[in-house]
Amino acid sequence: MAKSTKPETKTASAPSKVATGNTTKFSTKPTAPQGKFMFDQMNYIIMFVGLVVLVIGFMTMIGGSPSDPNVFDKAEKYSTRRITIAPMLIILGFLIEVVAIFYRPKTNSETTSNTTI
């Protein structure tokens, strides 16, 4: 029987073997340290502020109960507060959420390298 002369191909999902001395290790993608959160405390504070602004925007858009439920009050339904201010608050809330996701606090090494005398 003849041996196949096809070259072996590695798949991207399989870990590659790395031989070091007498042991063989499998190199894998680096993972996040266990027990560490993805965001810092400041990120969560900014997210909470964005959530509060969103809730205030939606509550402002809802308005309140009409003074007389049997009469349609056009000025109350289409007021500046509901049509202009509330959507701006909602957009501001979403922008704050995006900032909270992308915000990266400075580490100690970054702050010490910037404070040279």
Q: Tokens at residue 29, please? A: 């993608």
pLDDT at residue 73, as a whole number: 82
pLDDT at residue 51, as a whole number: 97
pLDDT at residue 57, as a whole number: 96
pLDDT at residue 76, as a whole number: 82
Question: Cα separation of 94 and 83, whole Å?
Answer: 18
pLDDT at residue 106, as a whole number: 79
pLDDT at residue 107, as a whole number: 74
Return per-residue pLDDT of the chain as tens, 117 residues: 566 565 555 555 555 555 566 666 666 666 656 767 788 899 999 999 999 999 999 999 998 778 888 888 888 888 888 999 999 999 999 999 999 999 988 777 765 666 666
pLDDT at residue 12, as a whole number: 54
Give the phi and the psi of residue 102 in degrees, each rounded to 5.
Answer: -90, -10
Supply the pTM of this predicted model.
0.60
pLDDT at residue 11, as a whole number: 53
Q: Is 60 exposed, middle or buried (0-12, 13-18, 19+ CB in 10 A)?
A: middle
